[in-house]
C-alpha cells in the first residue's frame, strides 16, 4: 500500500513539474513575442519619421543599413529580456528551494517526534 502511495506522489510531482515547465515555456514565448512586436513597431515608426524628415523614400542601401540596425536593436532587446527572465527564474528557484527546505525541515521534525514516541524494543 505504501509503495502505491509513493508511486502516486512521484507521479503527481512529475505532472506538476511538467505543468510548471509548460507554463514557463509559454511565458517565455509570450515575453519574446512582445519584445519582437515592440521592436517591429519601433522600427516602422523610425522609418516613417526618417522618410518624413528626408522627404523621400529610402534607397536600397539605406534600407539595408536600416535592416542591419533593426536586427542589432532586436538582438539587444531580446538579450536584455533573456537576462530579465534568467533573473526571474533565479528568484523563483531560490524561493522554491527555500520552500522545499522548510517542508523538509518540518517533515524531519515530525519524523523525529514520531520516532521519539515509538516504544523501545
With respect to residue 120, please indicate whether it lies within any of the assigned structural domains. Answer: no
Alpha helices, DSSP H, located in the chain: 2-54, 60-117
User: Of the candidates 74, 71, 6, which has an alpha carbon nearest to the alpha carbon of residue 39?
Assistant: 74
How many domains, the chain?
1
* Spatial separation of the C-alpha atoms in residues 111 and 95, rounded to whole Å: 24
For 33, the grid coordinates are: 513575442
Give the domain extent around 74: 2-115
Reported as a single tens digit per residue, the pLDDT across 2-14 is 667 778 888 998 9
With respect to residue 65, please indicate whether it lies within any of the assigned structural domains. Answer: yes
* Spatial separation of the C-alpha atoms in residues 10 and 43, rounded to whole Å: 49
Distance of CA 35 to the CA centre of its chain: 14
With respect to residue 23, please indicate whether it lies within any of the assigned structural domains. Answer: yes
With respect to residue 20, please indicate whether it lies within any of the assigned structural domains. Answer: yes
Reported as a single tens digit per residue, the pLDDT across 40-70 is 899 888 888 888 877 777 788 888 888 888 8
With respect to residue 79, please indicate whether it lies within any of the assigned structural domains. Answer: yes
With respect to residue 121, please indicate whether it lies within any of the assigned structural domains. Answer: no
With respect to residue 109, please indicate whether it lies within any of the assigned structural domains. Answer: yes
Stated pTM of the model: 0.61
Amino acid at each position: 500500500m505504501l509503495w502505491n502511495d509513493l508511486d502516486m506522489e512521484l507521479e503527481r510531482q512529475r505532472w506538476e513539474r511538467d505543468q510548471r515547465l509548460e507554463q514557463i515555456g509559454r511565458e517565455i514565448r509570450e515575453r519574446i513575442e512582445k519584445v519582437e512586436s515592440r521592436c517591429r513597431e519601433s522600427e516602422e515608426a523610425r522609418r516613417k519619421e526618417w522618410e518624413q524628415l528626408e522627404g523621400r523614400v529610402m534607397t536600397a542601401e539605406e534600407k539595408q543599413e536600416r535592416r542591419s540596425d533593426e536586427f542589432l536593436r532586436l538582438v539587444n532587446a531580446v538579450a536584455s529580456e533573456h537576462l530579465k527572465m534568467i533573473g526571474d527564474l533565479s528568484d523563483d528557484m531560490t524561493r522554491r528551494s527555500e520552500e522545499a527546505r522548510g517542508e523538509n525541515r518540518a517533515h524531519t521534525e515530525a519524523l523525529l517526534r514520531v520516532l521519539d514516541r515509538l516504544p523501545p524494543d
